[in-house]
Amino acid sequence: MEYRKLGDTDLELSAITYGSFAIGGTMWGGTEENEAQNAIRVSIDLGVTTIDTAPFYGLGFSEELIGRTIKNMDRSKVQILTKFGMVWDGSNEGKGDFMWDQEDNGKIYPLYKYASKANVIKETEESLKRLGTDYIDLLQLHWPDSTTPIDETMEALQRLIEQGKIRAAGVSNYNKDQMLEAQKTIRLASNQLPYSMLNRQIEKDIVPSAIENNIGIIAYSPLERGLLSGKYFKGEHLKSDDHRNGYFGQFDLEKVKAFLNKIEPLAQDKNATLAQLVLRWATLQPGITVVLAGARNSEQAISNAQSMDINLTQDELLFINKELEILS
């Protein structure tokens, strides 16, 4: 495994970082707890020492599951990244930006983006409790909240750093201007953003600005929630309540399939799967610090970790990027 410094911090994160959205179960057709815990343990054993989560993932369940899994581990050997600012428990009293009504286990929860100072402090305490730890390595604002001034949110994060409850502060889904505005109040460690072979929008201005300002980029959805693994073109089916039934509809699936067919021989030459090749490509792109990869079982966890064993030459990267023109 390769470890990378996150922005202007002393955090060293594994280039492949464990993404825990799916193990929360909500929007993913449920989860199998024992398999998820095994996936986390195997990931750590193979050097994937960084775990990214959020209260919203399973409405608290993902954080609780991670907390139980790492309970008896050396906390200094595991980096915990979590978030705040997606509120479903009504504590925001209708304040913030309404997102949608989230269904979970037959109940409907109105979901809001909310990042007031008081909410930042409240959510942090809740996450610390669920995770069973006394500090969070990186705390990130999950989504921009247009109703709260950026400096108010960042001042709250700075206070948490000074209290030792978090080691570093980041944002997620911020555009360039929002990112630079936050920098006026706090030293941002990172911006977590969607990035994949099918979605390279951040290369235009966010990545260059992040490089210039020494802000790390944490890439999420590098496999487009499994689509770029190719398995859904080979007969694998999704559960009816899996959000990917709709999510995949945004892509030209015939073009995606044609592209994967073009690069699959390269993966085979490397004794790798398509998913591993796609992950490794993402880790090698300019400005990308770490790449999130979810795993719901040990097999997926092993595959993700071993993607870092792939050696890609500049010519091979050029070949992949040329074939990506099919998708543009």
Instruction: Name the residues annotated as catalytic.
Output: 57
Phi, psi of 51 (to 5 degrees): -120, 125
Nearest to 78 by CA among 38, 133, 24, 7: 133
Contacts with 214 (C-beta within 8 Å, 6 or more apart), sequence order: 7, 8
Contacts with 203 (C-beta within 8 Å, 6 or more apart), sequence order: 285, 287
Q: How far apart are CA 116 and CA 82, in angstroms?
A: 17
Crossing angle of helices 61-70 and 33-45, in 10° steps, is 50
Give the residue carrying structure tokens 């929860």: 109
Q: How far apart are CA 278 and CA 68, in angstroms?
A: 31
Q: How far apart are CA 291 and CA 269, in angstroms?
A: 23
- For residue 289 the two structure tokens come to 């610090």
Tell me which amino acid residue 171 is: V
Give the residue carrying structure tokens 């907390």: 67
Give the residue carrying structure tokens 């990186």: 138
Strand (E) or helix (H) holding 238:
none
- Residue 154 CA, chain-centre distance (Å), reads 20
3-state secondary structure of 172: strand
Phi, psi of 265 (to 5 degrees): -60, -35
Q: How far apart are CA 161 and CA 107, in angstroms?
A: 36
Nearest to 79 by CA among 21, 138, 39: 138
Classify strands 136-141 and 107-113 as parallel, antiparallel or unpaired: unpaired
